[in-house]
Amino acid sequence: MSEQSASGALKPGQKNRQRVEAGLRRRYRAEARFRAYGIAAVALGLSFVAMLFVSIVSTGWTIFRQAYVLLEISYDADTFDPEGTGDPEVIGSGDFSAPIKASMRELFPDVEARAERRMLYGLVSDGAQFELRKRLMAGPEAVGSRETLWVLADDRVDQLLKGKIGRDQPADLRGLSDEEVAWIDRLEQAGQLELRFNRSFFTQGDSREPEQAGIWGALVGSALTLLVTLVLSFPIGVAAAVYLEEFAAKNRLTDFIEVNINNLAAVPSIVFGLLGLAVFIQLFGLPRSAPLVGGLVLTLMTLPTIIIASRAALKGVPPSIREAALGMGASQVQMVMHHVLPLAMPGMLTGAIIGMARALGESAPLLMIGMVAFIVDVPGALTDPSTALPVQVYLWADSPERAFLERTSGAILVLLAFLLVMNLAAVILRQKFERRW
Amino acid sequence: MTGETTHATRGNHVVPPERAEQGFRTIGEITTDNPVVVCRGVNVHYGDKHAIRDVSLDIAHNEVIAMIGPSGCGKSTFLRCINRLNDTIPTARVSGSIALDGRDIYDKQQDVVQLRARVGMVFQKPNPFPKTVYENVAYGPRIHGLAADRTELDEIVQTSLLRAGLWEEVKDRLESPGTALSGGQQQRLCIARTIAVSPEVILMDEPCSALDPIATARIEDLIDELRRNYAICIVTHSMQQAARVSQRTAYFHLGDLIEVGSTDQIFTNPRHKLTEDYITGRFG
């Protein structure tokens, strides 16, 4: 700009500049304020997440270790196979608590009163005899021999060792008498009682006894349920979305369907549970408490989410790609299959994973179809009775024993880990499919 | 002149009398000696909007015809009628007749997939598929089953890229993504993709508007070469480009085809007032 025109336009220009400057500080203040709100919101969210993790991890991390007692077990031939038949049925019907009791008596020869002895035996978990039975059935030739073995201790012993039961608490609050505490101390000093890796938690199903209760049954139940959900909801959801978005005529009927799908996404999940109970169990006669039915119910719940996300992903594919394909003479199906679907796949996978994550955390609909039952066995098939991780959390949280508090947090940790693995798989899959245009 | 007999009756009332009185009447010769595409009385409605009114025009073999006109005049809409891409717009309604080699393309017998294999299209924004360079060119032959085996397909890909003037630049990176090429290369890739199925007509909708002058020059040279084998119909906003590449020019204004003529005549001696105003830059 030349000098002349600059000086000629000075006055109005300066006036405007002053006005802008006057408003500038206000604008920056508003901006700073807005940023502060944002940071505060993020900080608040993060602090709650941190609190959640701290509280769960701090109560739950001890679940990886469990108190075990080292016992000298003798498989007396008199007890297990008096006639020397070697018949597993005879061996299996023996009294497996006897060698444990005998071993405890050996360790504490000074305990003689019956009531005291019963207390002493109580330090070892009931589960120990089942463990012995399993070992002997696996190798019947061990009858007549001796072995030293780490067996599960009672949950109260475990809690005391972990410091979850205070030694200075009164005996009735503690759940352990002074004698029991003294025995535990003696065992610990002798190196015959220690915290070892908690294998049974990760390999067993539920139990009334906290020390025997494991998460594996619920984990398998959840995995089977989600497998059914994924196998059904992803293909059905994607197919529905593709049809509605790419092929269906845009008219009142499709509008009506769209509104209904959106509404279904907002239906409380327990309603789907009721529907599953009425339709799958009552009408179709499918078994109760089965992962198959759970998966079907969660499919109904997840479908709207997947359909909505998939439609959004399809809408996001640039029209230029569609035109390019159509312009080349691709048919509608070829256009969708060769170009649109691959480009929409990452978005669809995101939708699916959001739906699956919700399904994993869902307990209400599963309560309605009986997956809340107390189930000890690990399910081996889709129709076996089973429970699921969130339901297991709910069941344990409801149990009075102190050791179940630790299990509850432990189960939540497993649930979160499961979620993490699932999300990780989704991220990897998505990166595989991700393409730029 | 195979198609002419069936459309002769329509050709007589190209412009309805009342509109002719208002001065809307196509000036110039809409017919040619050697037409591939014969359009008669084409009307397009988008819902209530009348986008093109009674357009009649021939597109000839081995000729580049340029469509010019201000934005929203319907030239792109007209172009998209010729390969029935307007079918994808639910509200679009096309009437009148467009014949390719004497057969009405809006006839129920006409398969739209086959039509689009015969009438290729290059778009305004380069839109290669997010696949490799090779796959981009091989896509058309593949879906139409034009190549019997891999060697034949390789040959088609190479010839198409050669004719699009892109072979030298991409022969070492046929397996790299087509979207990684520069804008001009992408547009030439799109042209290669189009000619890989050996169409009879190539429609180009402002093919250079997203490109720099050098890339534009290359595309224009290419269009001139392609004219030897194809009928080319190009929509452009650049009058210089129309003047450089085309033999005939059609001027559209608000949905009407105002004037058609040889490019020389349109740019040096326009007969209609609107054409003159437009090419002299009084509006547009």
Rg (CA), chain A: 32
Cβ distance of A324 and B130 shorter than 8 Å:
no
Does A49 share its domain with A67? no
- H-run or E-run covering B260: strand B256-262
> Which of B19, B44, B22, B41 is CA-nearest to residue B30?
B41
Q: What pLDDT was estimated at residue B19?
A: 53
Q: What pLDDT was estimated at residue B24?
A: 55
Asked if residue A107 belongs to a domain, the reply is yes
Inter-residue contact A67 to A153 (CB < 8 Å): yes
- Out of A327, A338, A437, closest to residue B83 by CB: A327
Q: What pLDDT was estimated at residue B196?
A: 92
Does A415 share its domain with A296? yes
Asked if residue A96 belongs to a domain, the reply is yes
CA distance A318 to chain B (A): 10
Asked if residue A329 belongs to a domain, the reply is yes
Does A360 share its domain with A337? yes
Task: Tell me whether A330 touches chain B (CB under 8 Å).
Answer: yes
- What gap in Å lies between CA B166 and CA B185, rounded to an integer? 7
Find residue A73's DSSP bridge partners: A147
**Residue B159 dihedral angles phi and psi, to the nearest 5°:** -60, -40
Q: Which domains does chain B have, with CATH numbers?
A: 4-279 (3.40.50.300)
Find residue B172's DSSP bridge partners: none
- Burial (CB count within 10 angstroms: exposed 0-12, middle 13-18, buried 19+), residue A272: buried
Q: What pLDDT was estimated at residue A9?
A: 53
> Which of B105, B247, B127 is CA-nearest to residue B186?
B127
Q: Which residue type is seen at A316?
A: G
Task: Tell me whether A79 touches chain B (CB under 8 Å).
Answer: no
B140 contact residues in A (CB cutoff 8 A): 328-329
A334 contact residues in B (CB cutoff 8 A): 143
Does A28 share its domain with A90? no
Task: Tell me whether A329 touches chain B (CB under 8 Å).
Answer: yes
Average pLDDT of the segment spanning A103-112 = 89
CA A87 from centre of chain? 42
Where among A167, A197, A227 does a domain terminate? A197
Asked if residue A91 belongs to a domain, the reply is yes
Give chain A's mean pLDDT: 89
User: Which residue does chain B place closest to A246, by CA atoms?
Assistant: B88
User: Which residue does chain B place closest to A436, by CA atoms?
Assistant: B130
A341 contact residues in B (CB cutoff 8 A): none
Structural domain including A418 reads 216-433
> Which of A126, A127, A122, A129 is CA-nearest to residue A181?
A122
Cβ distance of B85 and A250 shorter than 8 Å:
no
- What gap in Å lies between CA B135 and CA B212, rounded to an integer? 26
Does A178 share its domain with A53? no
Q: What pLDDT was estimated at residue B283?
A: 66
Asked if residue A204 belongs to a domain, the reply is no
pLDDT at residue A263 above 90? yes
- Out of A250, A329, A331, closest to residue B197 by CB: A329
Torsion angle, alpha carbons of A394, A395, A401, A404, to 10: -60
B171-199 exposure pattern, b = at least 16 Cβ within 10 A, e = fewer: eeebeebbbebeebbbbbbbbbbbbbbbb
- What gap in Å lies between CA A357 and CA A360, rounded to an integer? 5
- What gap in Å lies between CA A103 and CA A109, rounded to an integer? 10
Q: What pLDDT was estimated at residue B72?
A: 82
Inter-residue contact B165 to B218 (CB < 8 Å): yes
- Out of B121, B129, B194, closest to residue A339 by CB: B129
Task: Tell me whether B90 touches chain A (CB under 8 Å).
Answer: yes
Average pLDDT of the segment spanning A347-362 = 90
Does A135 share its domain with A187? yes
Does A246 share its domain with A260? yes
pLDDT at residue A175 above 90? no
- What gap in Å lies between CA A159 and CA A404, rounded to an integer? 10
- What gap in Å lies between CA B176 and CA B179, rounded to an integer? 9
Tens of pLDDT, residue by residue, chain B (284 residues): 333 333 333 333 344 455 555 555 678 888 888 889 999 889 999 988 888 888 889 999 999 999 998 888 888 899 999 999 888 888 888 988 899 988 888 888 888 888 999 999 999 999 999 889 999 999 999 999 888 899 999 999 999 999 888 998 998 999 999 988 998 899 999 999 999 998 999 999 999 888 888 888 988 998 998 898 899 999 998 888 999 999 999 999 888 888 999 999 999 988 888 888 888 887 65
Cβ distance of A343 and B144 shorter than 8 Å:
no
> Which of A266, A223, A230, A269 is CA-nearest to residue A368?
A269
Does A283 share its domain with A154? no
CA distance B51 to chain A (A): 20
Q: What pLDDT band is residue A430 in, cutting at 50, 70 and 90?
A: confident
- What gap in Å lies between CA B11 and CA A350, rounded to an integer? 56
pLDDT for B67-98, tens place per residue?
Answer: 998 888 888 899 999 999 888 888 888 988 89
- What gap in Å lies between CA B197 and CA A364, rounded to an integer? 57
Does A190 share its domain with A221? no
How many C-beta neighbours within 10 Å does residue A21 have?
9
> Which of A410, A412, A403 is CA-nearest to residue A363?
A412
Asked if residue A272 belongs to a domain, the reply is yes
Inter-residue contact A419 to A357 (CB < 8 Å): yes
How far are the Cα atoms of A141, A292, A395 from residue A392, in angstroms, in the given order?
Answer: 39, 18, 5
ipTM of the complex: 0.84
How far are the Cα atoms of A1, A25, A256, B108 from residue A14, in angstroms, in the given order?
Answer: 16, 18, 59, 70
The residue among A80 and A36 whose pLDDT is bigger is A36
Cβ distance of A323 and B116 shorter than 8 Å:
no
- Burial (CB count within 10 angstroms: exposed 0-12, middle 13-18, buried 19+), residue A257: middle
Report the domain count for chain A.
3
Average pLDDT of the segment spanning A404-425 = 91
Cβ distance of A331 and B113 shorter than 8 Å:
yes
- Burial (CB count within 10 angstroms: exposed 0-12, middle 13-18, buried 19+), residue A165: buried
Give the number of A-B residue pairs with CB atoms closer than 8 Å.
Answer: 65
Q: Which residue type is seen at A286?
A: L
Task: Tell me whether B142 touches chain A (CB under 8 Å).
Answer: no
Residue A375 CB partners (closer than 8 Å, separation 6+): A205, A206, A217, A221, A289, A385, A386, A387
Does A264 share its domain with A315? yes
- H-run or E-run covering B262: strand B256-262
Task: Tell me whether B110 touches chain A (CB under 8 Å).
Answer: no
pLDDT at residue A129 above 60? yes
∠ CA A422-A277-A215, nearest 5°, is 40
Average pLDDT of the segment spanning A182-193 = 91
Cβ distance of A328 and B140 shorter than 8 Å:
yes
Cβ distance of B128 and A326 shorter than 8 Å:
no
Does A402 share its domain with A275? yes
Chain A (232-271) residues lying within 8 Å, Cβ to Cβ, of chain B: 249-250
Asked if residue A150 belongs to a domain, the reply is yes
pLDDT at residue A437 above 90? no
Cβ distance of A320 and B128 shorter than 8 Å:
no
For residue A48 the two structure tokens come to: 């709650």
Does A296 share its domain with A407? yes
Interface mutation vs chain B, best among A255, A321, A328, most B CBs within 10 Å: A328
pLDDT at residue A222 above 90? yes
Asked if residue A207 belongs to a domain, the reply is no
